[in-house]
Structure 1
């Protein structure tokens, strides 16, 4: 989501300035165009040359150093930026911004920009708790600055407490999460199925599978963060939603999921079936617990209803997406599912590959549109994979409209 974004990193004078070096590198690795500006105090901790090498762009340190006579530097760079990240943000720079003081390159640029601004504070724990600093942060928050709270731990000053600059990975994660709330799916109603189903044998036994629902829950959370109205139909899982804006419907069996998905289908714009629904169930279920015998046990199984295929047959204007979890020839079987079930897209993954199986927090996948256009999703958290899948869906829907 940061690819080709113009990101201006503002570094102010604190010992945590060394972390801004890693942040510059990681933002560049995300595909962003990164430029750095520094306060005079920041240059006492890290050389501008370091940031120039990492960003592959000139570093701005002086308001009066006009590198191009045809432009006013701090206005030009203020207009260039899509996103500005202040890291570390000292009590001093926070105070300047909250009170409209513009006396150096960083403060003048920040007062002149209309870019989205993220503030990552770093300071002594007592400074962070000072009423003046709290007041200044509240003022910036009311003006639309987005704060990335510092971590707690051992500080360079010797104190232990809150005030340590968040790690570069956490800063990027916070930015990505906020950027994903860009209303990409605003006005859309999204229906998602998740988790396994349980097919009853007797009062104490059932058939099920290894699905934990993590991918479906991540899709639901990401879709809400992107502005959608979300309904999640889930089999029996131990997960809880962190966002109360998701409407959750709990089911147990494949039949129950079939009924609920069909009830909800017509009122939704995007339907994603990530649930691992049982393909078979016992033909006979027993009211009493089955007793063990000396010999083998034989159970006759029957097919469950194919939820995805039946939705594909009823599809009108819905964008229908299936998941294909395979262990061999994943692309071949995934493409067959795309065609045979009248899908608009399919998300294919090989659950036998490390990092992509059931129960983990990561996934690897291939998103394939019905036009056979493919997007490879490398190893990432399931939430990040969900963001990419939903972004591809939104893009494909826009192209089709």
Structure 2
């Protein structure tokens, strides 16, 4: 039994897919998990508490007080009890409440009190699932550090076919086992991650920058934090952010700012991941006032920025691991392997701009990992969250080999 001794809080909301909660409960219990179920009041229209209580062998909660005694169902205690909180199915209504901190029922109040990882398995009709407001709420809850189990495609209750089906219970079980097996495998490790772009000032209103979103570095930070690591996330200007008790964010703007922040924490770190897309050059003499449009042509003299990864690689301690990233458009493998050696990385992750769906601004990526030993790994085109997990699993194997 792969979940022996693990505590799973399963929340069920008002969706036709609520019937799948019975099968999911059965699967979790068979793997040895203790399962406590919470229901929203609308979920009572789709499946009875008696069914879920029988399968979980525990009373099912759906309100703040117990009818017989008036005793309080303590949402804080429930939130602290669990090793994992799964909301499956997650309706559009409850999703909106989670995204905006609405705690008008036991389920949402418990969610706001939970300190454990949270998995969300949305279920709704395909047009609802693709509606801009729903997608915005899904983005918001994912930015809050939750694990989103994207809906699967197939026949829907409306008779239409497409994406919107709650992830099948067998697949949720697989994700649960994977997460809980890894939940503490980086506990005690201090990890620095640089992420996002940098901006180099031209004048008070203009800058030199790039199209990096920071998605890859933030995905790495979230995954490692969920696995017990303490993260120093040095984040350049980005529309994306994350909130997690194991992540400390240091916002920076320029390459110089990022270097100073990284230099300050580097000596205390066990692992350093250089995922930021830093500017190689900066204006030598930024204008103090906005540059006016006068001449047909304008020249800006650039100076070379500090190479953060190379500078810190030169003072890397014994036992400290450095991981780098390379985004290339030509001679990809040759350039990546040159950086691997020059910057003293333990391994480097190559992104090619020539791969469709990979690189800046995409939610997916395809990478090749080169090791100092000469070993080479090639991934498929995957969501950036899955690429982050691949990189971290590679890191874990290296740590286990060294120990």
- Partner residue in 1 for 2:167: 167
Taking the aligned partners of 1:220 and 1:390, their CA distance within structure 2 comes to 10
- Partner residue in 1 for 2:315: 314
- Partner residue in 2 for 1:90: 22
Match of 1:150 among 89, 106, 116: 89
Task: Evaluate the alpha carbon distance shift between residue 148 and residue 295 of structure 1 in structure 2; reply closer, same or farther with a 3 A threshold.
Answer: closer
Taking the aligned partners of 1:176 and 1:387, their CA distance within structure 2 comes to 14
- Partner residue in 1 for 2:389: 387
Long gaps (5+) in structure 2: 4-16, 61-77, 92-123, 126-154, 159-163
- Partner residue in 2 for 1:126: 44
Taking the aligned partners of 2:82 and 2:233, their CA distance within structure 1 comes to 35
Taking the aligned partners of 2:279 and 2:356, their CA distance within structure 1 comes to 24
- Partner residue in 2 for 1:258: 259
Match of 1:372 among 371, 374, 392: 374
Question: Looking at CA atoms only, which structure, 1 or 2, has the larger radius of gyration?
Answer: 1
Long gaps (5+) in structure 1: 7-18, 20-86, 98-105, 159-163
Task: Evaluate the alpha carbon distance shift between residue 130 and residue 288 of structure 1 in structure 2; reply closer, same or farther with a 3 A threshold.
Answer: same
- Partner residue in 2 for 1:330: 332
For residue 243 of structure 1, give the secondary structure of its aligned residue in structure 2.
coil
- Partner residue in 2 for 1:362: 364
- Partner residue in 1 for 2:341: 339
For residue 149 of structure 1, give the secondary structure of its aligned residue in structure 2.
strand
**For residues 1-400 of structure 1, what are the structure 2 equivalents within 5 Å?**
88-90=20-22, 110=30, 114=32, 125-126=43-44, 128=46, 130-132=48-50, 147=86, 149-152=88-91, 153=124, 166-168=166-168, 171=172, 174-175=175-176, 178-179=179-180, 181-316=182-317, 317-400=319-402
Taking the aligned partners of 2:299 and 2:276, their CA distance within structure 1 comes to 28
For residue 321 of structure 1, give the secondary structure of its aligned residue in structure 2.
strand
For residue 399 of structure 1, give the secondary structure of its aligned residue in structure 2.
helix
Taking the aligned partners of 1:237 and 1:289, their CA distance within structure 2 comes to 24
Contact 1:118 1:145 in 2 (8 A): no
Contact 1:202 1:287 in 2 (8 A): yes
- Partner residue in 2 for 1:43: none
Normalised TM-score (structure 1): 0.65
Taking the aligned partners of 1:368 and 1:259, their CA distance within structure 2 comes to 28
Taking the aligned partners of 2:165 and 2:252, their CA distance within structure 1 comes to 44
- Partner residue in 2 for 1:103: none
C-alpha offsets along residues 182-231 of structure 1, whole Å, 9 cap, x if unaligned? 32212111100000111001111110011110111101001111111111
Q: What is the alpha-carbon root mean square deviation over aligned residues?
A: 3.7
Task: Evaluate the alpha carbon distance shift between residue 188 and residue 89 of structure 1 in structure 2; reply closer, same or farther with a 3 A threshold.
Answer: same
Contact 2:21 2:88 in 1 (8 A): no
User: Mean alpha-carbon deviation: is it higher for 254-263 or for 145-154?
Assistant: 145-154
Contact 2:156 2:165 in 1 (8 A): no
